[in-house]
Amino acid sequence: MRYQAPISDLQFLLFDVLGADTLHQLERYRDATPDIMTAVIEEAGKLAADVLQPLNKVGDQQGCHYDPKTHEVTTPQGFRDAYQQFSAGGWASLDAPTEFGGQGLPHTLKFIVDEMVCSSNMSLGMYAGLTHGAISALYAHGCEQLKATYLEKLVSGEWTGTMCLTEPQCGTDLGLIRTRATPRADGSYSVEGTKIWITGGEHDLADNIVHLVLAKLPGAPDTTKGISLFIVPKVLPDSGERNPVFCGGLEHKMGIKGSATCVLNFEQAQGWLVGAENDGMRAMFTMMNEARLMVGMQGLGIAEMAYQESLGFARERLQGRAVSGPGNPDGPADPIIVHPDVRRMLMRQKVLNEGMRALALFTGRQLDLSVAHPDAGEREAADDLVQLLTPVVKAFLTDEGFNNANQGLQVLGGAGFTTDWPLEQLVRDARIARIYEGTNGIQALDLVGRKLGLHGGRLIGRLFTLLATHLQAHADAPFHQPLAAAVKSLEDATAWVAGRGMEDPEQAAAAAAPYLRLMALTVIAYLWSRMAIVAQQQLDAGAGNTALLEGKLVSAQFYFDKLLPESSWLLADITSGKHSVMALSDAQWDA
């Protein structure tokens, strides 16, 4: 079916619930009026449906092709034209800095476009997605000469960017990297080594590919404290000569086959230092944190498309009769949407998708406030929430994005297991999002190991203040009691993790994944409470889209009845401790 951008839900969230209609009051976003934002959303939906989605199956069937003689990669048929159209329309530069040709629009708006792009063609969207991260890293940490050389071309989409971290012997533990950068007489560096799993490392979509590469200088500490960041272009900007960085092959993947995932060999390629020596991890985290939020939107985008496909199928597929009596008495059978089990699967998709969208856009708005609010205290408070919620957005949206795609396939039954329907591709494509840019287990460790204790616990304190203020202000609102109970569970879990984790780090590590999930469910419960309050207010006033508003109340009820109760057993999981996780001896694993 043709992708339908969830415009009504987006407008309700942005303008009625989250207050993004006031972003244009900030000087940095003065052009982002509600009318402009709505126009961008509508046009992005058309681009996704008309240009990107028709190529999604093509990309899966054809994949990318590597020529070992030339070391070149050819993308699927139609990808280059679609990418050029995407770039020419300014979609690659939506929130990029205006001084380098970007439009300077809010990050929240980019989150929305990211969702639509990933709903319609995740593989194609990844080429521009990694480029955006390279822009942010270079803008934040590059010298003026590097910015002048690269940013305008990257912002326009004329060039693309990559992030080169992983090597054959190391992934998360980047202190083990072997790529080396040796100083040259002209101030540049000779970069030598091999990187693997590089998204967009070689392709035919753009004239140049700009690699951001982690490497170690001579004599640098053999840990993460000895890592520096370098910019290494495929084509040298000054001379137009080919830099000796070559694709050594493509990964053979279960999904996202239209995205070129490459082995890259740097054969004394010329590069330039970005930022200070041995400060590469800090610079790279600028790119990685942005990429993690983008990957969260990949999970949501896939989940939304899976929901639309399974809902359409359930409305048309005739099978059996409703247990309450025929719903289609003139036909041979009822559509399967009448069956409670099918409705449960559809409701889980719908309610989680809308809740995840609220979490993502709430985080996006905080990101906008963190860079644009005139008050330093407000910027700090917003940034604290962004830092805290980034691993939550990445992990929860990709976990549940995959689960919802899987639920969508189940709705289709046997049809979903065939390539005649798009669900099996969506399931395969969604699976990688839980792995790359730091596996979801790493996100959980980041949350409990770094974010909870950061600035003396200030980040988690911001969240608890936000939740407590909402509960106090809406004591008589629907769902107050279950929300308060979930907040109490999160408080108890936080105290347990903080206390036991200080005594024994393994306790915190064993609790990390359920703790992250508990936080996600609690914050989404807070957002469903806000959505339900606004929906009821608008219904009482006789304003808004009645069907959408009434649907919000039903969906909120489903969330608090069927999904939030998981928080109680997550607390039990956390406080049961590490013993049953860690107790097996080596001999007991396969006894």
Tell me which of 354, 437, 503, 550 is the catalytic residue. 437
Among candidate residues 215, 211, 298, 327, the one with its CA nearest the CA of residue 262: 211
* Residue where the block lists tokens 């934002």: 37
List b or e across 149-166, with b for residues whose CB sees 16 or more CB atoms inside 10 angstroms: bbbbbbbbbebbbbbbbb
Q: Residue 388: what are its φ and ψ, rounded to 5°?
A: -65, -40
Say whether 579 sits in a helix, a strand or coil.
Answer: helix
The H-or-E segment that residue 245 falls in is strand 245-250
Dmax (CA) of the chain = 84
Determine how many CB atoms are found less than 10 A away from the CB of residue 543.
Answer: 11
Residue 576 structure tokens: 């049961």
- Whole-Å CA distances, 513 to 306, 438, 490, 508, 574: 25, 13, 13, 10, 9
Q: Could you give the angle at the alpha carbon of 337 between the alpha carbons of 336 and 342, nearest 5°?
A: 85
Alpha helix stretches (DSSP H) within 413-545: 423-431, 440-446, 458-473, 480-503, 505-541
Q: Do residues 274 and 141 make contact, with C-beta atoms less than 8 angstroms apart?
A: yes
Instruction: Please tell me the distance from the alpha carbon of residue 304 to that of residue 6, in angstroms, as a whole number.
Output: 9
* Residue where the block lists tokens 């995205």: 259
Instruction: Please tell me the distance from the alpha carbon of residue 365 to that of residue 14, in angstroms, as a whole number.
Output: 9
The H-or-E segment that residue 159 falls in is strand 159-164
Q: Residue 406: what are its φ and ψ, rounded to 5°?
A: -65, -40
Say whether 57 sits in a helix, a strand or coil.
Answer: helix
Q: Residue 264: what are its φ and ψ, rounded to 5°?
A: -120, 130
- Whole-Å CA distances, 335 to 323, 420, 520: 12, 20, 34
Residues pairing with 215 in the sheet: 228
List b or e across 381-400, with b for residues whose CB sees 16 or more CB atoms inside 10 angstroms: bbbbbbbbbbbbbbbbbbbb
Q: Is 400 a catalytic residue?
A: no
Instruction: Please tell me the distance from the alpha carbon of residue 138 to that of residue 94, in angstroms, as a whole number.
Output: 17
CA pseudo-torsion sign 118, 122, 128, 132 = positive
Instruction: Please tell me the distance from the alpha carbon of residue 384 to that of residue 366, in angstroms, as a whole number.
Output: 9
**If you ran DSSP here, which 8-state letter would residue 545 be given?**
-
Strands 208-216 and 159-164: parallel
Strands 180-183 and 65-67: unpaired
Q: How large is the C-alpha radius of gyration of the chain? A: 24
Task: Characterise 457 by phi-psi region: left (phi > 0), alpha (psi -120 to 50), beta (else).
Answer: left
Catalytic residues: 437
